[in-house]
Structure 1
Amino acid sequence: MFVPVAQQYHQAFVQIPNLRHCLPAFNPKQPMLSWGHLLFSDDSALATQSAVHYVIVRDPYDWVLARARFFLSDTFQGQMDHLKGGRVSIEEMLNMMIFGIYQKAPTLNEIYTHNSIAWLGTGIKLVRFEDVIKHLKILNTPAAERYFTDLLQPVLKDGVLPDDWRKRLEVGSDRKQSGTYRENLVGLTSELPDELPDIQKRLVEYAAPGLRHMLGYY
């Protein structure tokens, strides 16, 4: 909501398999706003050399639940149909999200390692999903203005938020526009807890020791 549509790269959701076709998005002579799931690699490091690069992460505890909801819904189209409709317990599904599914889904550790941890220390700006949500809930406070001014510096004219910045954020964060927001998932019949059970929290720490600490979750 802070970058004109004409300066946004809509041709594709940028990922490693299509990265070479998406290189125009990173042309420093004509900078564009793009987004995707960009694994850390030689190609992605070279492609983003001149880009302002945000890496957005979510608390692994909540990510496990969100991933399970998505995979168990009909919104997700892939190799998970055999797990839907209560064919496995919720606890079994959560463990699969943590440890992966052989030849079908990578582990939590693999996803976080290549999508976030490996980018640390390279000049990227790490953004925690929870911090964004926290400040969206207090938009009318000086703390929110300071947070979003810092967050959006690269796309702000003269480094100053426009007068309608709160309205832009409200429109851009509208959950009704998200296909993966839990209430918008199609065909989700399994009821998952709002908080990851204690045993699965311990399994996350076993599967990816130090991960949450590295990302600033304490």
Structure 2
Amino acid sequence: MFLNSVPKAGTHLIRNILRMFVHPDQHWRREYIQHALLSRSRDAFLVDKPMISWGHMLFSDEAAVALRDTRHIVLVRDPYDWVLARARFYLSDEFQGNLEHIKNGGAAVEDVIMMMILGAHGRVPDLKDVFSMNAVAWMGSRAVVVRYEDIVENLKDLGSKRAEVFFRQLLADCGLDLPADWRDRVEAGADPKESRTARENLKVTAEVPKVLSDTHKRVVDFHAPGLRALLGYR
């Protein structure tokens, strides 16, 4: 089972929940699997030795071959909210890279948000490129697309029949059964303390809005027309 995701779409959340249903001996712990590391990570996808692994695997011929016989989940997030989550990460102490100069007010937050949408030349890929290669390209395969917001909504209503149906299907897509104590496992895995990049745990150097402005929403729609609808957002 490979838990693939658009970067900053909630990877830690789905990983921490689903690994509660897999024996620790079957956890792939070496690293986040990405395209650049694929050649040394192929044993994570062995049919005769199933593992739960996770990462950000963009679509490619090599990735398609490696994941052919693996249960493959692709986590996506509403691009409107993804832009803000990405901005928070790039402005946090957790991020160490070639954009340190935008932190601590180095660039206006509104401009940082634009970078998250349109990219920063030579430094950060744009929204359309990230979603195209990490999500949209996999939609034509046997991969199962899961929306971050659906996980969050069902976590808020964990005692409901709706949540039971949702998590039963999610586990089935991963080749797993729903045990009697599934709610306890989901609740434990979803604890924000288990994710260093959860919003509550990030030390952000500038205040990022909780809701994307109407102008920035229009820029997203201009930059990637049809993307939100393709992913099931309205």
| TM norm structure 1 | 0.96
Quick check: 1:2 aligned with 2:21?
yes
Q: Secondary structure at the match of 1:56?
A: strand
Quick check: 1:214 aligned with 2:233?
no
C-alpha contact 2:72 2:174 (8 A) present in aligned 1 = no
C-alpha distance in structure 2 between counterparts of 1:189 and 1:97, whole Å: 16
Q: Secondary structure at the match of 1:147?
A: helix
Q: Secondary structure at the match of 1:74?
A: coil
C-alpha contact 2:144 2:173 (8 A) present in aligned 1 = no
Cross-structure match for 2:188: 171
Report the identity percentage.
Answer: 47
Cross-structure match for 1:37: 56
1:63 to 82, 89, 98: 82
Quick check: 1:138 aligned with 2:157?
yes
C-alpha distance in structure 1 between counterparts of 2:31 and 2:90, whole Å: 22
Q: CA deviation at 1:52?
A: 0.5
C-alpha contact 1:2 1:156 (8 A) present in aligned 2 = no
Cross-structure match for 1:54: 73
Q: Which amino acid in structure 2 is aligned with residue 131 of structure 1?
A: D
Instruction: List aligned pairs for 1:35-114, cutoff 5 A.
Output: 35-114=54-133
C-alpha contact 1:100 1:106 (8 A) present in aligned 2 = yes
* Closer, same or farther: CA 190–136 of 1 in aligned 2, 3 Å: same
Q: CA deviation at 1:8?
A: 1.2
Q: Where do 5+ consecutive residues of structure 1 fail to align?
A: none
C-alpha distance in structure 1 between counterparts of 2:229 and 2:197, whole Å: 26
* Closer, same or farther: CA 162–42 of 1 in aligned 2, 3 Å: same
Cross-structure match for 2:218: 202
Q: Which amino acid in structure 2 is aligned with residue 25 of structure 1?
A: A
Q: Where do 5+ consecutive residues of structure 2 fail to align?
A: 1-19
* Closer, same or farther: CA 154–213 of 1 in aligned 2, 3 Å: closer
C-alpha distance in structure 2 between counterparts of 1:154 and 1:116, whole Å: 17
Q: CA deviation at 1:213?
A: 0.5
1:192 to 208, 217, 221: 208
Q: Which amino acid in structure 2 is aligned with residue 5 of structure 1?
A: P
Cross-structure match for 1:180: 197
C-alpha distance in structure 2 between counterparts of 1:2 and 1:175, whole Å: 18
| TM norm structure 2 | 0.90
Q: Secondary structure at the match of 1:120?
A: helix
Q: CA deviation at 1:153?
A: 0.6
RMSD of aligned residue pairs (Cα, Å): 1.0
Deviations 1:92-123 (A, max 9, x none): 11001000001100000000000000001211
Q: CA deviation at 1:189?
A: 2.8
C-alpha distance in structure 1 between counterparts of 2:92 and 2:174, whole Å: 35
C-alpha contact 1:70 1:185 (8 A) present in aligned 2 = yes
Q: Which amino acid in structure 1 is aligned with residue 219 of structure 2?
A: L
C-alpha contact 2:93 2:205 (8 A) present in aligned 1 = no
C-alpha contact 1:3 1:155 (8 A) present in aligned 2 = no
C-alpha contact 2:75 2:145 (8 A) present in aligned 1 = yes
C-alpha distance in structure 1 between counterparts of 2:193 and 2:53, whole Å: 21
Q: Which amino acid in structure 1 is aligned with residue 199 of structure 2?
A: R
Q: How many matched pairs?
A: 215
Q: Which amino acid in structure 2 is aligned with residue 209 of structure 1?
A: P
